[in-house]
Structure 1
């Protein structure tokens, strides 16, 4: 029977060679980007970690890695309209001309969708943008089907339809032109001042009760906005966009979402500024951290707010009324359709009361924006015109 190998002997000689331990390279924020890493997605079998190989001390100025650039990939989409059956979302149909978003919002609930493309929900989500070049024609075809029943369609539910690449590609403008031709009601949600480019289309449609626009303003603090939403328009610029839209006669609302405990603390000020600029409706949601968004947001907290990271995550768990077993298992938010958007429990109730009190004081949400479904004409999709 072979003798089992003996464990290495303990060496007490201080002159003996010492075994070096690998040192992990600490995370560093990436200028102009929301997250710091290309975090591996949940379908990847192998993961890698960067370690210090000893050369860091010899790196000369200018030798570091170049900041990641944005690349646009074109996709021939198979469908345009996405349906959802979530009772907590105000629209049932949506169209997204892009996958990924260069705005780089660290809290974006759409980040995990990049995993289905074998891309990272981290840096890839904001640097590898997929453009659906045929989206307008697909929408025209789908709206022209005899089976289509008109209902509100939202543009930009899982991407910002006015992110920087839209300036060149104009896919969103193409979608609006299709909606105009079909007399189909739609809404837009964005953080970009780029929506002002399409005032020539939006203003006449708004006069016919066929469109409304919602502008997201998470905070008025420009330093915080730059950390959370590095390539979105500055808060003051979004307020100017609200004013421009309102003056053009377009129904405009403000989204103060997501609410992040101990990070976004100026809800009342945002609502007041947006109302002054011309917004007449408002809504909010609380932070959700599905799938890979959980570790990504934790990384962001450790980079920018290490002293309060634990408090923030604990309060997010409070907002979703997680029990001790769920917290111990690492769960951060509740995904139940009935509560995921607004949360539940004491802290969620306090947030709800703050929002409701501000809206009452300012006169927000007194009248609901109702778009007209009766004007839809499928015949326009086939370039036939209409007699009625």
Structure 2
């Protein structure tokens, strides 16, 4: 039996196996007008191909809870009913293929209002559909980024409610998993990290204060997300800074709090808070972070980062380092990775009827 292709049950939801798709922005939505943030035929084809390829769970790209929460001007969102209806079409198809549909809810904070990568990906202003960014403190992400406007406590409360509103729309669209994006230096991660958060009020300073916004978002989403469905949280386990940053010790401490607040799985990534940081990458380089959280808290975890081979993924699950693996660029290269991995590991997974002749 393959450990990778064993089902995983979280709350009352059973996910058919543990090879999942990580959120990856497609930068393919309209930047403005009535179709702003609305998933397109590109998004449908993109997600549908990975579902037909056997992926067990698909998490959407970072889906903004407000127009100002988008990473780029071409990101999708869930702040209105038009977006909800467009996602419903995608979700229905994924469900028909036996794939569990999940949504990643996000606010990009000081790293928002950028162009698409193939046009450089740099910050853009109102003349190119951009906007004023916000953050916990008026500190720019890099010399190339403008300083964000510091959020007031009232605005923080409004963003918490925006996360709850997006979760309600995600449920209406049929999603079965919600993930809160607290990683990669976006707004929630900015509040967590002392590198980006220099506030002196109840949302800054101590670990407890810097964690406050994240836990308020978790509580607001958990309050509207059904008890029978799981809630995930994505975190950067470390800022990769020698000082003045979020650390793996912080992640373990915070993971225990997340569990108490109703989070069912921690999606463990790293980095993104500080620019110009050298990260020692390599196959599975972030897996030890996930393994430590799982060992010290008992919270289920998903590992991500240069996981490309079936045997590698199998070892991560079989050894107990993680409960699932999230594949990113490898699934861009090979939408049917799960089917190929199952064949290599001697497992059987569902294949769409029109593709049975190739199984």
Max Rg structure: 1
Tell me, yes or no, whether TM beats 0.5. Answer: no
TM-score category of the 2 structures, normalised to the smaller one = 0.3 to 0.5
The alignment's TM-score, normalised by the length of structure 2, stands at: 0.39
